[in-house]
Structure 1
Amino acid sequence: MSLTPATAAEAGKAAEARTPLADLGKDDPYIWMEEIEGTRALDWAKAQNARSLPVLQGDPRYADLEAKALAILNAKDRVPGVSFAGDGSLRNFWQDADHVRGIWRRTTLDSYRTAEPAWETILDIDALSKAENANWVFKGASCLPPDDTRCLITLSNGGKDAVTVREFDTTTKSFVQGGFVLPEGKQNISWVDKDNLLVAREWEPGQVTKSGYAYVVKAWKRGAPLDSAKEVFRGTPDDVSASAYALTEPDGAVAAILANRGVSFFEAETYLLTDGGPVKLPFPLKHSVQGYVSGQMLVSLEQDWAEKGLKTGDLISFDLAALKADPAKAPPTLVLRPTARQSVESVTTTRNKLVVGLLDNVKGAAMVFTHGANGWTQAGLDLPANSSIGLGSGSEKDDRIFITVTGYLTPSTYWLADAATGKLEQVKASPARFDASTHVVEQFEATSSDGVKIPYFVVRPKGVKYDGSAPTLLYAYGGFQVSMTPAYSGVMGKLWLERGGTYVVANIRGGGEFGPAWHEAALKAGRQKAYDDFFAVSQDLIARKITSPRRLGIMGGSNGGLLMGVALTQRPELYNAIVVQVPLFDMIRYSQIGAGASWVGEYGDPTIPSERAVIAKYDPYSNLKAGQKYPEVFIETSTKDDRVHPAHARKAAARLEALGYPVLYYENVDGGHAASANLAETARRQALEYIYLTRRLMD
């Protein structure tokens, strides 16, 4: 086989002499912080909390901000989002002051339409935690179609990604005696039928990928011991993960069983699992199976498929019967090709329809596609313009689907759409949580270092004076093809906008606002483009005199936390406040910490010298230096975050302190990657963030 330029380049890198993983950063004086719950690390974190929290919570304004945040989060008049269940009910997970850990509950559509729906509790997580003396966080339920009465309940200890799974019966509202139970682990589980599951987990000690995820999938039969499960698919330890799942007809019949081999975070192989073994489907590595409807399997492409005449960003379909008969000969059908300023944001199905959430210049639309003898036909849903459109639960009984519509200043409205007729019904509207009458929303563009136009949204007071005095919070993410779209945040509005603040969201490269190519531009060697985009937006805000470095603060989490670290080390003169949330920070050792190995496809491999050289240029941890004009930063993380390890945040704070810089640090002992296991913890975290921003930007 001849190598394409891309594969030739990869082969060249593979030929480089790799640096042993264990040698990277081995002389780091803070490597002990990587022991996630080590006594020394936890003692350090508690001491940091004891030093930093009184500074922020001691501000006379803090208590009011926390109370307002908690009131919004616990509000009884919040609109509960619901999902269709096959038993005819609508289901919802709800948390408030009386249900701190939450309740899983149900109602009927007729009742949901009323001002005060009648809810029936299915499972009370607070009561379960008390009965079992456990710190359970509800991570969801996977229910067996078509009735959805048998469910696999996923429970996390304190918010970790590692979960336990138990079979639950919604008719009796109890765990199934002698039913399926899986002990704690990072695992993927899918129903085949009532008596059979597909399970990917750590079957033997150490049988996980370098990223810490399962790569062996087994079929487990009801009543049989877990260790008797039969292997049906195997990836390799160098993969990110492997999993398997069933495509089902509306009546619950299994149409096909597929396995996914995650070669990297963005590359995957899809296999049909047959009686004769796995059969690899001839898709490009960068693809995603999006669903199944009307006999058609939906696939999105994140790279060109030249021999088929298909482009990056295309949504295509395959006749499943033809694909099963001969994968090599089954022809793809183009469903939708977005323009350069569009992207397919989400895909869902009803009984007979395909519904696509489309972004057009970072504004939402919803399209309905119907498959017939002549292929796909399309129609639009007449939803409010200039909004974010979120596709919710689709019904397998008919063609209804729930859709949310929201904006920065517009509380979310909940719509019930009939995808077959186009009929729309607004069933709920969230109450306003802050006075939006004082602000307006605008969209601007900044020019990045390579001339690319970077859009950003500004939510500002109507009467703002363009003299650089507006306290401004800039937020961005810039990675993993995640789009930053307009969304209503009651807490941000109450704690920032209503108090005179300006809020900005930058749609920098690395995200998915304009499809896979927008993401691809900032991968690996192109990573600096995302940061240059962010600096361009920052400078544009200053050039327009919307704000000034004295009044400009920034915030980002996870990959966005890495962005904050780069901003701190590369352009500290632009900012007076930086909130670094659950960050990546030590990029030389990132692939050894937490689930970091799974992100090599995004950032590159530090063991490859040429890729490490790129990473080292922007790595915040090694680029922290003495004698710089760094603003006092606020760094926050969670002990229970087993995805982005808290060591990143810990080491960032420790090195800043060692270099003589002031730093505020907060480590929540629960909460997982969201850094908040319940609403009270969320309110505390948000109040800490906004009191910090108030002190740095408004005072």
Structure 2
Amino acid sequence: MIRASAVALATLLASTSLTSVSMAQTPPSSPAPTSGGFATSDATDPYLWLEEVEGERAMEWVKAHNERTFAVLQGDPRYETLHQQALEIVQAQDRIPSPGFTHDGHIDNFWQDAQHVRGLWRRTTLDSYRTATPEWQTILDIDALAAAEGQNWVYKGSTCLQPEERYCLISLSNGGKDAVTLREFDTVERKFVDGGITLPESKGGASWIDKDTLLISRDFGPGTLTNSGYPMVVKRMKRGQTPDQAETLFTGQPTDVSVSGYTLRDADGVVKATLINRSVDFYSSETWRLGDDGALTQLQLPAKSDITGLVQGQLLVSLKQDWTAPSGQDFKTGDLIAWPLEAWLADPATPAQLVLRPTERQAIEGVNVTRNRLVVALYDNVRGSVRVYTPGQGEWSHTTLDLPQNVSVGVGSASEKDDKVFVSVTGYLNPSSLWLADAATGAVDQVKSMPAKFDAAGMTVDQHEARSADGTMIPYFVVHKADMPLDGSNPTLLYGYGGFESSLLPGYSATVGKLWLERGGVYVIANTRGGGEFGPRWHEAALQQNRQRAHEDFQAVALDLIARDITSQPKLGIMGGSQGGLFMGAMLTQRPDLINAAVIQVPLFDMLRFHKLLAGASWIGEYGDPDIPAQRAWIQQYSPYQNLRAGQPYPEVFIHTSTKDDRVHPGHARKAAARLEELGYPVLFYENVDGGHAAGANLRETARRLALEYTYLSRRLMDTPAQE
């Protein structure tokens, strides 16, 4: 069975009541971006030195900019209050401890607070967890470990050997990087195993075959990483061997994203297949089965598909492309199908069963399996429900769990001992709650709920639609005070992401509520193409040469907000991170006339060099390849770094990144700020020296970043008069 680490955090998803749905008029098309010769080659880029992550000159530049930004934002009289509020929220003790079922039915949790900034891995019984004050037993204290070893350890999860789950590989990151050190830990003795397995820092992973055998994908030296910086080689390592001595099982190609190995196990922890995944690009992959004789056989699956679980001997696969199976059956993009595993491995022409086919406005947002059931989070127009499917000889029967309506739901950890599964339920204005469901009987019981973290009295949520440049209707949510005047005077923060099939599902954010909504701000979330809100096709509509569609979707939402007099240009700000940072850069360079603030978080920005920086090559499947002239041409049309130019109504922006981010290179953010300053624009720039891609190695740093962001937004949007 494929399952997350026993201490993986259950994702708390969310949604809201819909109080109105309306359509906007077609906005004018955004002006076509232009690009001169700036930074179109290494020779014309004066800021390549800022890509030297820890270079002396670059770090002096970072230090100077941090000092200036701190002086401006921390010097604002609102900063300290916002910081204290953020700190209180992120360090609060009354959060729901995210539960993870162990194989024997215990509950694991990873917990951070003011006393445990780096966190505790801890365990309790299910009965104790259901009480108001569970009795936790600490398995591993990361703060104590970091102090004892003098290291800046950030916990990145564990992989435990089933079924006993006594021995685990702990992933420890230096400062929050994606690259981790793996160390064998005994959960009974609660200490690292003397002379146990240790793998040095690298991107990649390891999976148990048995107590003395691992599948490992790591940096094994020159020629063993892909162009994206991820492992290209899978080895089988026996206890006592070094990685160099391990047997090579599979070698991919340098152009691949990565390769990895894992075991497919049943509910009793028995290995049913040993598999190797070759990610050819970000969305296309091959899966190979390792036979007992060491031979590799490629499974006959479509390139765009995911193995999502194994239940009662049925292998579950989600499809992200139309596909004709070897049996002759035709399936559609978005389908969830199943085969009897043993029969299918023996004969790939074995017919599959269609488990679920979402409609055009539906999307599968989560799948998990209990001992005997399949549990699916199914969304319809960005509103969630949970279905339970039972395998059968013909069609799989299903029931729907009796949960609150018009909400977002998250399928959390599931038990392999029985059919219990945790489900999270929440809304923009409704604090998260956690429910325990019995997938066999359909019984549901609320076991935890969050107290309100901000005053939502008098607030409401609307869902509107905006017409994009090509006529597509783009849904978006508006969270606001019900008595909000429709005169363009409302400080409004518009959030977007728009890529990698990542859905922006409504959720309760204590920090947004306390630091923004409660103070009179309006919060807007755009469900643009490029995301997964309506399944794989919604994502594919904005891939590669069609990327500009997602930018136009975001612009359409901004135009619609202004047309409805919810806000106006002086009161409208935008926020997004990573791919969302690229989103913000495109808005800044294409429609700066619509906004007065932009929080650009750990961004992609130089899209002509993204594939050469850290993990960037892995995203060619999303954006295209700048080394191919035809693709470079359409990437250059929107790449923010090349399209920054003088004489534009750019607002003062706030850009932040992390030195330790080994996924999106901090050079993107640094070069964006440097270029803006060269052109004469004011810029606020902050770089956290730790933190990784999440830009926060610990809770105190997270609170500081939040306070900086909302101080900046207050200055730009709350201090500025509305447009007449």
Q: TM-score surpassing 0.5?
A: yes
Could you list the per-position Cα deviations for residues 216-251 of structure 1 after superposition, in whole angstroms to 9, with x for gaps in the alignment?
A: 101111122332211122211110000111011122
| Equivalent of residue 573 in structure 1, options 586, 589, 593 | 593
Instruction: Map residues 337-486 of structure 1 onto 2, 5 A cutoff.
Output: 337-486=357-506
Instruction: Map residues 244-393 of structure 1 onto 2, 5 A cutoff.
Output: 244-274=261-291, 275-306=293-324, 308-327=329-348, 329-393=349-413
- SS class of match (2:430): coil
Give the stretch that moved more between structures: 353-362 or 276-285.
276-285
1:650 aligned partner: 670
- SS class of match (2:366): strand
Aligned-partner Cα distance in 2 for 1:348–1:568: 40
Higher RCO by CA contacts (8 Å cutoff, separation 6 or greater): 2
- Using the size of structure 1 for normalisation, the TM-score is 0.96
| Equivalent of residue 543 in structure 2, options 508, 518, 523 | 523
1:185–1:636 CA distance, 2 compared to 1 (3 A): same
How far did residue 430 of structure 1 move?
Answer: 0.6
**Code of the aligned partner of 2:339:** F
- SS class of match (2:128): helix
1:492 aligned partner: 512
1:593 aligned partner: 613
Aligned-partner Cα distance in 1 for 2:406–2:40: 51
**Code of the aligned partner of 1:522:** A
Aligned-partner Cα distance in 1 for 2:375–2:251: 33
1:3 aligned partner: none
User: What is the root-mean-square deviation in Å for CA atoms of aligned residues?
Assistant: 1.1
1:128 aligned partner: 145
How far did residue 24 of structure 1 move?
Answer: 4.1
2:659 aligned partner: 639
1:235 is the counterpart of 2:255: no
Could you list the per-position Cα deviations for residues 138-188 of structure 1 after superposition, in whole angstroms to 9, with x for gaps in the alignment?
A: 000111112222111000000000000011111111111121110000012
Aligned-partner Cα distance in 1 for 2:295–2:548: 44
- SS class of match (1:563): helix
Q: Are the equivalent residues in 2 in contact too, given 1:510–1:520 (CA < 8 A)?
A: yes
How far did residue 375 of structure 1 move?
Answer: 4.2
Q: Are the equivalent residues in 2 in contact too, given 1:266–1:286 (CA < 8 A)?
A: yes
Q: Are the equivalent residues in 2 in contact too, given 1:85–1:147 (CA < 8 A)?
A: no
- SS class of match (2:44): coil
1:157 aligned partner: 174
How far did residue 378 of structure 1 move?
Answer: 1.0
Could you list the per-position Cα deviations for residues 472-491 of structure 1 after superposition, in whole angstroms to 9, with x for gaps in the alignment?
A: 00001000000000101101
Aligned-partner Cα distance in 2 for 1:533–1:357: 26
Q: Are the equivalent residues in 2 in contact too, given 1:25–1:588 (CA < 8 A)?
A: no
Aligned-partner Cα distance in 1 for 2:241–2:229: 26
How far did residue 23 of structure 1 move?
Answer: 8.9
1:374–1:308 CA distance, 2 compared to 1 (3 A): closer
How far did residue 276 of structure 1 move?
Answer: 4.6
Aligned-partner Cα distance in 1 for 2:294–2:85: 60
Aligned-partner Cα distance in 2 for 1:547–1:171: 58
1:15 aligned partner: none
Q: Are the equivalent residues in 2 in contact too, given 1:549–1:576 (CA < 8 A)?
A: yes
In the comparison of the two structures, how many residue pairs are matched? 677
2:121 aligned partner: 104
1:9 aligned partner: none
Q: Are the equivalent residues in 1 in contact too, given 2:501–2:539 (CA < 8 A)?
A: yes
Aligned-partner Cα distance in 1 for 2:213–2:413: 25
Aligned-partner Cα distance in 2 for 1:43–1:334: 59
Aligned-partner Cα distance in 2 for 1:297–1:24: 48
Could you list the per-position Cα deviations for residues 527-574 of structure 1 after superposition, in whole angstroms to 9, with x for gaps in the alignment?
A: 000000000000000000011111000000000000000000000000
1:178 is the counterpart of 2:198: no
How far did residue 68 of structure 1 move?
Answer: 0.3
Question: Identity of aligned pairs, percent?
Answer: 62
1:16 aligned partner: none
- SS class of match (2:250): strand
Q: Are the equivalent residues in 1 in contact too, given 2:105–2:415 (CA < 8 A)?
A: no
| Equivalent of residue 114 in structure 1, options 131, 135, 148 | 131
Give the stretch that moved more between structures: 140-149 or 680-689.
140-149
- SS class of match (1:412): strand
- SS class of match (2:157): strand
- SS class of match (1:670): coil
Aligned-partner Cα distance in 1 for 2:195–2:449: 43
- SS class of match (2:530): coil
2:577 aligned partner: 557
1:672 is the counterpart of 2:689: no
Q: Are the equivalent residues in 2 in contact too, given 1:291–1:298 (CA < 8 A)?
A: yes
Could you list the per-position Cα deviations for residues 322-379 of structure 1 after superposition, in whole angstroms to 9, with x for gaps in the alignment?
A: 222123x232221100000001111111111111111110111111111123342111
Aligned-partner Cα distance in 2 for 1:502–1:159: 32
Q: Are the equivalent residues in 2 in contact too, given 1:149–1:171 (CA < 8 A)?
A: yes
Q: Are the equivalent residues in 1 in contact too, given 2:153–2:174 (CA < 8 A)?
A: yes
2:4 aligned partner: none
Aligned-partner Cα distance in 2 for 1:650–1:308: 51
Q: Are the equivalent residues in 2 in contact too, given 1:313–1:516 (CA < 8 A)?
A: yes
2:26 aligned partner: none
**Code of the aligned partner of 1:304:** D
Aligned-partner Cα distance in 1 for 2:385–2:426: 12
Aligned-partner Cα distance in 1 for 2:161–2:43: 48
1:612 is the counterpart of 2:632: yes
Could you list the per-position Cα deviations for residues 634-666 of structure 1 after superposition, in whole angstroms to 9, with x for gaps in the alignment?
A: 000000000000000000000000110000000
Aligned-partner Cα distance in 2 for 1:621–1:197: 44
2:34 aligned partner: none
Aligned-partner Cα distance in 2 for 1:224–1:243: 19
Q: Are the equivalent residues in 2 in contact too, given 1:87–1:149 (CA < 8 A)?
A: no
1:5 aligned partner: none
- SS class of match (2:391): strand
How far did residue 25 of structure 1 move?
Answer: 3.2
- SS class of match (1:257): strand
1:689 is the counterpart of 2:706: no
Aligned-partner Cα distance in 2 for 1:587–1:23: 10
How far did residue 309 of structure 1 move?
Answer: 1.0
**Code of the aligned partner of 1:134:** Q
Q: Are the equivalent residues in 2 in contact too, given 1:232–1:277 (CA < 8 A)?
A: no
Aligned-partner Cα distance in 2 for 1:71–1:85: 31
- SS class of match (2:545): helix
Where structure 1 has 5 or more consecutive residues not aligned to the other structure, the ranges are 1-21
Aligned-partner Cα distance in 1 for 2:212–2:396: 36
- Using the size of structure 2 for normalisation, the TM-score is 0.92
2:228 aligned partner: 211
Aligned-partner Cα distance in 2 for 1:669–1:290: 37
1:4 aligned partner: none
Where structure 2 has 5 or more consecutive residues not aligned to the other structure, the ranges are 1-38, 720-724
1:48 aligned partner: 65
Aligned-partner Cα distance in 1 for 2:395–2:266: 19
- SS class of match (2:457): helix
Q: Are the equivalent residues in 2 in contact too, given 1:25–1:589 (CA < 8 A)?
A: no
